[in-house]
Amino acid sequence: MKNIIRIYGLKYWLLKIVFLLLAENRFSAQILPFDNYDIRSGLPSNVINDIIQDKKGYMWFATQVGISRFDGYTFRNYGIADGLPINEIESIIEDSKGRMWAGTLGGGIAVLDKGKWTYKNKNLGLCDDFIIKLFEDREGFVWCISQQKGISRVSDDTIISYTESNGLAHNTIYCHLIDNSNNIYLGTVNGLTIFSRNNQGGYKVKTILPNISIPDIIQDRHGNIWMAAWEKGIFKYNGNSLIQYGLPDGLPKNNVICLMESADGKIWAGLKNGGVVFFENNRFSIPDNKDIRNATIMGMTEDSHKRIWIRTMKEGVYVISQNNIRKITTTNGLSDNIVNKITVDRDGIIWICSVSGVSKLGKSRLKFLIPILAFPEMIFYAHLQIRMGIFGEAVTKGHLLSHPKAK
């Protein structure tokens, strides 16, 4: 009888291994339940540069041919005829007063207030008409990052611009951060500039890490500032001193593009042709997945289920869930492998913006992200029971009940 049980046990493990291998191979070609939107759905362009969700729940898209607002059913498009100074929109935000701000490539900024678009440009004091990024500080000022000519701070009635001539490390700005004390960090092509309020109502401006390109900045839960440093690894700044991390600390390469802190406190870094790494126990480690190790990572975000969504330069999206990594491409139904932005809305819906439209993955459709290796065993056993007929009773809560013939 023991030999019979051993045979059943051997069959179980062999079949389970085969099942998992087949499931793994099937996932790579599995069509996922995306809702894809493009010009055929009502968008004004397939190239989506930015996306936000406003306070009312509408989704707004910055495209190459204007702005689009989506209510879940239809798109309301805005263009030059509606008051935009130019159609090519690079960035979009909603301010604390509920106004929509758009950064354009050639027309300055446009503001939607009470149903009407107005605009501000270089002739009115803006640093440049090519605005690639917008953000609002805690005082209600909107900052406009230009393509190559510095940054402007905009209020209802004033515009103040900052360039290299008044303290900026470089006029080309890659990224920004507002820390817990409302200091503004600007990562430039030639160092990190910090704006901090002075007693006269202006800003004290200082630069650290001169001659180093800073493509991304984050602040961790302990207040430390982490900076991606091109060709120099990663720096951590506590306000007084700097710590540099590089190859001796586990980084496979020093060309770091983006950073993120996950819900469990790990610092994640995306590299050029080096995949992702995470910082834990004072050292960077590489996830156990060969496929992602040569990818160029452009950005990362985490959803409410602690899944990390990773966008690449041209290889689609990777999802890290429970230490498993899955790749999602056009083969799986993604609109395009070149992804410009990934965002998670307040309902947990994933929006993936690309150069071929938008892919939406609803919260109720995320079941496919349960890692294959973590599927409840009852699914596997029940499948074997039906297909092989070797188990006499059902499986409950993942535990195999005894076979009556083995007693």
Which burial class, exposed, middle or buried, applies to 63 when counting CB atoms under 10 A from its CB (0-12, 13-18, 19+)?
buried
Has residue 76 got a pLDDT over 50? Answer: yes
In contact, 82 and 100? CB cutoff 8 Å = no
Q: Read out DSSP for 326-338?
A: EEE-GGGT-S-S-
Give pLDDT tens digits for 24-57: 444 456 888 999 999 999 999 999 999 999 999 9
Taking all residues of the chain, what is their mean pLDDT, rounded to a whole number? 86
Q: How far apart are CA 363 and CA 191, in angstroms?
A: 40
Q: Read off the pLDDT of residues 318-345 as tens digits, 9 standing for 90 and up.
A: 999 987 999 999 999 999 999 999 999 9
Say if residues 43 and 68 touch (Cβ distance below 8 Å): yes
71: CB partners within 8 A, 6+ apart: 58
On the question of pLDDT at 11 being above 70, the answer is no
Residue 7 has pLDDT above 50, yes or no: no
User: How would residue 271 be classed by pLDDT, with cut points 50, 70 and 90?
Assistant: very high
Among residues 301, 310, 309, 312, the alpha carbon closest in space to that of 272 is found at: 312
Q: What is the pLDDT of residues 275-317, one digit of tens each?
A: 999 999 899 999 988 889 999 999 999 999 999 999 999 999 9
Asked if 333 contacts 34 with a C-beta cutoff of 8 angstroms, the reply is yes
Instruction: Please check whether residue 342 is in contact with residue 48, taking contact to mean a CB–CB distance below 8 angstroms.
Output: no
> What pLDDT shows up at residue 369?
53
The model's pTM: 0.83
What is the CB neighbour count within 10 angstroms for residue 250? 17
Q: What is the mean pLDDT of residues 65-84?
A: 97
3-state secondary structure 105-174: ECCCEEEEECCEEEEECHHHCCCCCEEEEEEECCCCCEEEEECCCCEEEECCCCEEEECHHHCCCCCCEE
Q: Which residues contact 197 (CB under 8 A, 6 or more apart)?
A: 182, 183, 203, 204
The full set of domain ranges for the chain reads: 1-30+378-407
Average pLDDT over residues 218-227: 97
Give Cβ neighbours of residue 201 (< 8 Å, ≥ 6 apart): none
How far apart, in whole angstroms, are the C-alpha atoms of residue 402 and residue 238? Answer: 59
The dihedrals phi and psi of 264, each to the nearest 5 degrees, come to: -90, 5
Neighbours of 236 (CB within 10 A): 16
The CA–CA distances, whole Å, from 363 to 60, 328, 345 equal: 19, 17, 10
CB neighbours of 351 closer than 8 A, spacing ≥ 6? Answer: 51, 59, 342, 343, 344, 345, 358, 359, 360
